[in-house]
Structures are given as C-alpha cells and as structure tokens.
Amino acid sequence: MTRVVAQGTFDILHPGHVHYLRDAKAMGDELHVIVARSVNVTHKEPPIVPDEQRRQMVGALKPVDEAHLGHPEDIFVPIERIEPDVIALGYDQHHDDEKLRAALADRGIDCEIRRASPLDRDEEARLLSTGQIIEKVIDERCE
C-alpha cells in the first residue's frame, strides 16, 4: 500500500484544491491531508476559516482518506506519524523541493516528493485561488 501526504491551507475550497487532491490520491492508495494551522501560515494572508473547520471540509472530500491538522510548532511531526511513501506538493506551492528533501532526510524520513499537475485554466470564469474568490466577493458585494 502506498501512503500519500498532501498539505495546504485550504482556506476557501475551490477547483484547484479538488484537482490537487485528486492528483495526490492517484499517486497512491491512501491519501492523508495535513491542513496547516493558521499560526503556521506565514507565506500569505492568514486563513479566514478556522483550523478545525478547514480540516473537516477537507476530510469530507472524496479523494481524502484522512485529514489532520498540522502541528503548531513542528510541521514534520504529522509526517513522522503518518509515515508516507510520497509527499504530493501542489504544482504551484511555495516549497523548495530540494530543501524539503534535505529536511526530510535530516529527520530520517524516506519518501518520494512529487508535484501535482496544473489545473487546466481554459475556463475564463474559473476561480482557482482563495484570493481570487475573496476579491470577487469584495468587488461584487461590497460596493
């Protein structure tokens, strides 16, 4: 059995999230998703939706076998507990693959790192990020 871990903020769910998680699930037999805690989101605006609610929403998605909240201080704790064979990164996630490989090796975690494919952006009206969704709500509802 191949165990896959995907991770992210998953603030306001959108088609990009579903595509990423479907891709990640296709990389193995069992998909675990680590939902970042708000306190650990430093590369962008903090999430609007509370941590546990985001975990519940992700856990309800069909490709997901189990959804976990990230550790508040050490992002590698859930990875050590889950013992994945593959870590699936989103095609545009900010992680540096080589630095991540080195950090995993330092912790004695032996797994493959793969990137999910990009979602087809042909549909002009498709909203593919939480930021886009928030901007559209502000533009259309806050006049």
At 121, the pLDDT band (50, 70, 90 cuts) reads low
DSSP 89-104: EPTT-S--HHHHHHHH
Task: Say if residue 85 carries a ligand binding annotation.
Answer: no
User: What distance separates the 2 farthest-apart alpha carbons in the chain?
Assistant: 53
The residue among 135, 138, 140 whose CA lies nearest residue 14 is 135
Q: What is the pLDDT of residues 69-105, one digit of tens each?
A: 999 999 899 999 999 999 999 988 888 889 999 999 9
- Between 61-75, 79-93, 119-133, the lowest mean confidence (pLDDT) is in 119-133
Task: Please give the class, per CATH, of domain 3-141.
Answer: alpha beta
Strand partners, 50: none
Q: Check the annotation: does 16 bind a ligand.
A: yes
Give pTM, 2 decimals.
0.90
Q: What is the mean pLDDT of residues 24-47?
A: 93
Tell me if 70 is assigned to a ligand binding site. Answer: no
